[in-house]
Amino acid sequence: MPVSDVRSTFVLLTPVGRAALASWRLEGPAATRAIGDHFEGRSPSGDPAEWPVDRVKFGAWRLAGGTREEVIVVRVGPHAYELHGHGGLAVARAVQETLEKAGCVEDDSSDPAFPVVGPTSRQAWRDLPSVTTPTCAGILLAQAKGALDRALDEVAAALDASDQGRANELVNRLIASFPLGRHVLEPFCLQLAGPANAGKSSLFNRWLGYERAITHGEPGTTRDLLEAEVVCRGFPLTLVDGAGLRDSGSDRLERAGIRRVMRQAEHADLILWIVDGSDSTSTAELPEWVRRRPHLCVVNKADLGILSRWPADWMRVSVRTGMGIETLWRRVAETLVGEGLPAEGPVVWRRDQEECLKKAQRALSTGDSAQAARELRAILP
């Protein structure tokens, strides 16, 4: 067989997900070309196909845009290599993109010997190493064992039996699992916002259990956005702290920080609007960008005495003493997670899965069962 006809592949040898290192095995003539095009050795390397077997080569891998990542490359046989680099998710994806553009294809034939029930089962096994909490791991493990595949089979059977009502009921139920199911991999975003010096950074630190944000009595201490990962009722959640809102006058840095808070709010799953309940200059009027998003209102510094003008449904807390903080966290969890997801039931966790199901839903609404079946085949051939 001509060398040009040999299939070129790459396979990730290390577990998928966050790690210190990532290692790949590359095979085929396109792998040799990829190394020749992207590897820059610390000393002249020559043609990779002529390198001595098992000789370690240190250097950098040229990524899209001209950035470079330090790597180690070892030739292990004819047109066969091992590539070792940093294990960050973004770096690993960028390296694999260069391999794919060079003509290599990912070889999934060496997937671990897990019981693959169907296409969503296979995807679940691949996504499982990226999960960061035991609760989400349990949900995704159920999908890896075939929960979603079996549910899609049930939809297909209903369509084959011309039972559009049953098919529509099942599709609607699966779509309804996505708003929470997507957070198996994608953390919730909880943004703390409000006037300057209301106690946002103090609440941020209290929930983290250490002083991540600098706090001070002088308004305007926090300028940039601060993020930290926590767990909320079993799901990953990103806490975001930022500049307090006030008339910052000529302070350009603080004004830039306030603009960032307002832009970030567009992506928040929930905004906690926090005010100083003892401050007579604060107002109960919410900014329009807060009203547009799901939000909870919190009156802090209850230990100093709360002015009577605050709305009765605004939660009273004291970050300094801890009063009401556990109740506030439970309210956040109820708002975001609610009762959670069934541990063993089918869950839609990827956007492409939801998109296919919504297309099938639209087809069913017009009575087009054949089109609905075609849309489902994009998930379940």
Domain boundaries, the chain: 3-106, 119-177+345-377, 184-336
CATH of domain 3-106: 3.30.1360.120
- Cβ atoms of 48 and 75 within 8 Å: the answer is yes
Question: Whole-model pTM?
Answer: 0.73
Q: Mean per-residue pLDDT for 321-339?
A: 95
**To which CATH superfamily is domain 184-336 assigned?**
P-loop containing nucleotide triphosphate hydrolases (3.40.50.300)
Q: Picking from 126-130, 147-151, 191-195, 344-348, which range would have the lowest pLDDT averaged per residue?
A: 126-130
CB of 315 closer than 8 Å to CB of 299: yes
Query: Which tens digits make up the pLDDT trace of 246-256?
Result: 555 445 655 66
Q: How many CA atoms lie within 13 A of 283 on its CB side?
A: 5
Q: How far is 294 from 159, CA to CA, in rounded Å?
A: 37
Distances (CA, A) of 213 to 224, 324, 336: 10, 21, 24
Q: Which of 274, 270, 290 is nearest to 337 (CA)?
A: 270
**Mean pLDDT in residue range 3-10:** 72
Name the residue with higher pLDDT: 277 or 157: 157
Length of the chain counted residue by residue: 381
- Mode of pairing for the β-strands spanning 68-77 and 80-86: antiparallel
Shortest CA distance to 292 belongs to which of 313, 273, 315? 273
Characterize 134-152 residue by residue with b for buried, 16 or more Cβ atoms within 10 angstroms of its Cβ, and e for exposed. Answer: ebbbebbbbbbbbbbbebb
Q: How confident is the model at residue 220 (pLDDT cuts 50, 70, 90)?
A: very low
Distance CA 318, CA 310 (A): 15
Whole-angstrom distance, CA of residue 300 vs CA of residue 324: 9
The pLDDT tens digits for 149-208 are 999 999 999 999 999 999 999 999 999 999 999 999 999 999 999 888 888 888 999 898
Binned at pLDDT 50, 70 and 90, residue 262 comes out as confident
The pLDDT of residue 302: 86
Is 213 strand, coil or helix? coil
pLDDT at 74: 95
Cβ neighbours for 264, distance < 8 A, ≥ 6 positions apart: 191, 225, 240, 242
pLDDT number for residue 252: 62
- C-alpha separations of 100 from 34, 53, 62, 336, 363 in Å: 9, 24, 14, 38, 35
110-114, 315-319, 337-341, 343-347: least confident range? 110-114
